[in-house]
Structure 1
């Protein structure tokens, strides 16, 4: 086992996770607001209610997105460290995108377009790319400006 993490390291991870969570939340709220304006009515009706409705289910969904964004930020900070390998950076983003998007593949109607499962799968996949991609961009901006520190 390695040495224990210092309080300053833990606080920095908390800061990085919070930035990633807030970025994910802002992206998800923008998406929830814009998706009904962009999608055609038949595709909009195919979406699951939590994707287009704000109520309790929408709030629960946003909470899950914030938690996922937070975990992405902390994991990303330790995954990339001071390594400037672009494959490592994109691989960390891709891992979170795939886990979140592919969690729905077990539904039997996933490949029958435009079934609700297929539309939801496509939406979650695209949303995941944007959530984690913008999260990585926000973190890199913070690292470059010195507001956030790498592990």
Structure 2
């Protein structure tokens, strides 16, 4: 159908490319200071080469934000429901936070037992989740803000 042709036209591919570029830069810029504090100043013994880890985390975060922005454009479409926007952002934050937690060396396997305060998650793991959560809010929130700005200024079109 012609509606499907419009959705997957060359023009839409260009819009997706622009979206990825906006997400890449906006997310990376938003993440960089938070990641620097985490990796360089608060990393402790877990992060041995803080500056290199910061560079790596910022680079990977930029790629994550580019992919997020493309998915965000496809999900929000022409819908004005703010809960949909927040749900997409929240899903990406949750996945990033959970995937970056490293199990402490004191944890026992099968079933996973790591100690106080929650058994499954110890204080170290909760601290990792908190710091990564702040980073992820900045990363995906910054990318979403930039996308919404571009949508409002008609620099990038929403997916039909």
Does TM-score exceed 0.5, indicating one fold? Answer: yes
Alignment of 1:1-151 (within 5 A): 3=5, 5-35=8-38, 44-46=42-44, 48-49=46-47, 53-55=50-52, 57-104=53-100, 107=103, 108=107, 109=114, 111-113=121-123, 115=124, 117-151=125-159
Cα distance in 1 for residues equivalent to 2:152 and 2:24:
19
Q: CA deviation at 1:31?
A: 1.8
SS state of the match for residue 100, structure 1? helix
Say whether the 8 Å CA contact 2:69–2:147 is kept in structure 1. yes
**Bigger radius of gyration, 1 or 2?**
2
Say whether the 8 Å CA contact 1:47–1:119 is kept in structure 2. no
Q: Give the TM-score, by structure 1 length.
A: 0.79
Q: Give the TM-score, by structure 2 length.
A: 0.75
Instruction: Provide structure 1 residue ranges, at least 5 long, that are not aligned to the other structure.
Output: none
Instruction: Provide structure 2 residue ranges, at least 5 long, that are not aligned to the other structure.
Output: 108-113, 115-119
Residues 127 and 47 of structure 1, relative CA distance in 2, 3 Å threshold? farther
Aligned pair count?
142
SS state of the match for residue 103, structure 1? helix
Q: CA deviation at 1:48?
A: 3.6
Q: CA deviation at 1:17?
A: 1.3
Say whether the 8 Å CA contact 1:48–1:120 is kept in structure 2. no
Per-residue deviation, residues 87-111 of structure 1 (Å, max 9, x unmatched): 1111010110111112245724573
| C-alpha RMSD over aligned residues | 2.7
Q: CA deviation at 1:21?
A: 1.2
